[in-house]
Structures are given as C-alpha cells and as structure tokens.
Amino acid sequence: MELTTVWFALIAVLWIGYFVLEGFDFGVGMLLPVLGHDEPERRSMLRTIGPVWDGNEVWVLVAGGATFAAFPEWYATLFSGFYLALFLILVALIVRGVAIEYRNKRGDAAWRTRWDWAIAFGSFLPAVLWGVAFANIVQGVPIDANRQYTGDLFTLLNPFGLLGGLTTLLLFLTHGLMFLRLKTEGVIRERAAKLVLPVGVATALAAVVFLLWAQEIRGDAVSTTIALVAAVVFVVALLASRMGREGWAFAASAATIALAVTSLFWALFPDVMPSSLDPAWSLTTTNAASTQYTLTIMTVVAVIFVPIVLGYQLWTYWIFRRRVSVPRSTVDA
C-alpha cells in the first residue's frame, strides 16, 4: 500500500475520532440551556465533559497538522477556500473554551447565564459548519486549473451542504443525549431519556437522506454498504436507549458516526478535494501529497507517538468513568 493511501486513511481516522469524541461535547454544550434548569444541574452537565473536552479537540489539531504535512496542496486549497467557515469555527471553539473556564469566575446568575449561552453557541456553530464543510468536499467545489478555490462562503451554503450541516447538528445532539444518559444520574438523565427518541428520529431521517444523496453524488457499492450499516447501527442505538442500555446506546451512536464518516471518505478516495469545474483539476492523494521522504518520516513518528497519545486518552476516560449526579437538595428545584 502506498504511503499516500496510508496517510489518507490515517487522516480519516483522525476525523472519525474527532467527530465521535467532540460530537458528544458539542451535544452537551447545545443541550446545556435545555436540560439544565438551574446552576447545580448545569454544573453537573459540564462536569461530564470537563475532564475531556480540551483533550478531544486535540484530534482536530492533529488532523489539520497531518493534512498540512502529508497533503500540503489539499491543506492550502482547503484552508484558503474555506477560510471564513473555518475562521467562524475557530472563533466558536475559542468562545466555548473561554466560557467553560470563565463561567465560574463570578457567582451571580446573569454572568453564568451569559457564558452558558456562549457555550451553547460555541457548540452549535461548529456542529453545523463541520457538516457543511464535509458535505461540500464530498460534493465537489469550484477549483480551477491552478488548484485554487474560486467560490466564497455562500458557494458552500448550497442545499446539499446545508443538509450536511443539519445532519451533523442532529447527530451530535443525539450523541450528546446518549452521553448524558450514560454519565449522569437523576433528573438530567431522565430529561435526556425523554428527548432521545424524538431527536433520534429526526436525526435518522436527515442522515438517511444525506447519506443516500452523498452516495448518488460520489459513491460505490462499498461506501453505500457502509452508509446502510451506519443507518442500521443507529436504529440499534435508539432501541438500546429505549431499553435503558445506556452503554450499548452510546457505543452504537459512536459507531454510527464512525461508519458515516468512513462512508464519506471511502466515497471521496482517491480524490481529496474534487473540482466541480473539471474532474481533471481535482486534488487527489497523488497530486496533493508531500514527497515520499516526508511521508516516511511522518509514518515513523506516528508509529511511535500515536499509541502513547491514545493510551493517555483512554486512561483519562477510565479515570473519569463514574456517573455525575446533581446534589440531592436541587433535585426538586
């Protein structure tokens, strides 16, 4: 197997890890003003992601760095063409991070409420824009013969791109609900349980339409099969949640995201950014890649350090595996 293919697959794995882990972070953030009715409840919700949210963001940093090193042409075209969308995502992530850290710096309710809405906004915007971005990458964007993106932000806001944004938004909301059912006790868990089915059904409808549309645009028998398996696994997640099997439900929800992203990357390969103007102008794993020497060095580094990073993150999740409960005095509040 060529190293360009290996690194395309590794970058896909990094994005899968990011969407699976940051997905429930986004879901919890968006649900904060909805499920948390008072300060102890909202603080309990934030405690579920407190030890891990910043570590989860490392996945997107590594994915961006790997793209820059392994496929510099892809990185250059993507980050210049999608500049405004990616800038908005970055601002939202900064706002969310600051809000999580600053909401407890003062004790008055108005201060905390403003930061709570900042967390919700900082979770909502990336949840939508990541879907818009990936939908457009799969669909193809206007890239000219010089490998330059010739559109603007509104070029990305097409029907397929907006459906992609809606799908990731709903998928992350459902994933967040599954996570809260797994990680909380009491009223938060009960409220999350009531929302799983209606939000999950809406998610299923949007996801099925999006994935089928994506396969129609750019797919083969394998990517279509993966997408169909993702749909089946999501149904399993909803059934497991209905039966009170929170661990199985969350695992199936995570598997759904992983399979859905896998189907998109499989449909995309060997392109990395298809051109909607002329297929000959598309960026591929071949014409967008770094030199063989660079890829070899990166592979050696990855073999050494990726297991260490994965081991540390797994250890973190194991240490903070217990459920979070709202103080008993606030249950009836």
Domain spans of the chain, in order of start = 3-324
Q: What Å distances lie between residue 52 and 46, 127, 173, 251, 319, CA to CA?
A: 10, 18, 18, 17, 11
Tokens representing residue 75 in the block: 């990185």
- What pLDDT was estimated at residue 108? 84
* Strand pairing report for 184-185 and 324-325: parallel
- What pLDDT was estimated at residue 293? 92
Tokens representing residue 24 in the block: 């429930």
Strand partners, 149: 143
Closest by Cα among 326, 328, 52, 9 to 192 = 326
Q: Which amino acid, 64? A: G
Contact 259, 229 (CB under 8 A): yes
Q: Average model confidence (pLDDT) for the chain?
A: 91
**Rounded mean pLDDT, 81-109:** 90
Tokens representing residue 3 in the block: 């190293």
**Rounded mean pLDDT, 86-114:** 90
**Rounded mean pLDDT, 167-172:** 96
Question: What is the assigned CATH class of domain 3-324?
Answer: mainly alpha
- Residue 64: other Cβ atoms inside 10 A: 17
Q: How far apart are CA 232 and CA 168, in angstroms?
A: 17
**Rounded mean pLDDT, 256-275:** 94
CA 251 to the chain's CA centroid: 15
Q: Tell whether the model's pLDDT for residue 296 goes beyond 80.
A: yes
- The most confident of the ranges 1-10, 121-130, 141-150, 179-188 is 121-130
Q: Tell whether the model's pLDDT for residue 192 goes beyond 60.
A: yes
**Rounded mean pLDDT, 28-46:** 92
pLDDT-based confidence at residue 329 (cuts at 50, 70, 90):
low
pLDDT-based confidence at residue 152 (cuts at 50, 70, 90):
confident
Tokens representing residue 69 in the block: 């090193």
- For residue 325, the SS3 value is strand
